Amino acid sequence: MTSSNPSNPFTDTDYTAPTYIWPVDVLWDGEAPKRSGSSTGPLVTIDYAHHETHASNMYIVTHKLVDTDSLADDASLDLHMILSTDYDCHAVFWGAIGGDFEGILYEGPTCDTDGSAFTPINMDRGSTDASSVTVQINPTVNAVGDKLMDIYAPGGEGPRSGGAIAALREGTEWILGAGNEYLVRITNRAGAAKMAAIGAQWYEESA
């Protein structure tokens, strides 16, 4: 949010002059900032990523393997994202396995289009806006590309291991470049077949 009146920003209702940027998003009630309880109560604010959900611009994909369809030891679960040339994606990723696992993020993989196609879900369920990103699970990977991040999540080994969950982001989102492809891979290192899950969440901005 911007204001042309730095000394008293809430007296300026047009917000057209980008004098400075507020670090949080202020919720609005008509032309006035929304306040809690009364017109003199504290301002209601949300962080920027939360704002993108309100703007119908937050998308999510998730996939899990459970029971008889669990992930074999040393096998991988791949999530492949193909970005349009029009939008960057501000993304976070996560993976979970019922034991030790590795998680890797690659840029520029070469993949076939034989994976299971997934339609990203808009987290504003009242919106019909669609993501520009093409997503598939477990395509044939001919080359992984450049490794951007490589983590190990300890969750125990063998049939009674406790499991682990990890995010390929701590505190800051990845900005994925328009026109690029990305591969998120989690690999089971638990010593036995385990249930597994993988996912991504992002919002899009013009490149």
> What is the predicted pLDDT for the residue at 18?
47
For the chain, the domains span: 9-46, 60-206
Strands 25-26, 45-46: pairing kind: antiparallel
Ranges assigned E (strand) in 44-195: 45-46, 58-65, 76-82, 87-97, 101-107, 110-111, 116-118, 121-122, 134-137, 141-143, 146-153, 164-167, 174-176, 181-188
Q: pTM for the complete prediction?
A: 0.78
For 140-172, write each residue's pLDDT tens digit.
999 999 999 998 988 766 666 655 666 555 557
Mean pLDDT of 169-192: 89
For 73-118, write each residue's pLDDT tens digit.
999 999 999 999 999 999 999 898 888 999 999 999 999 999 999 9
CATH of domain 60-206: 2.60.120
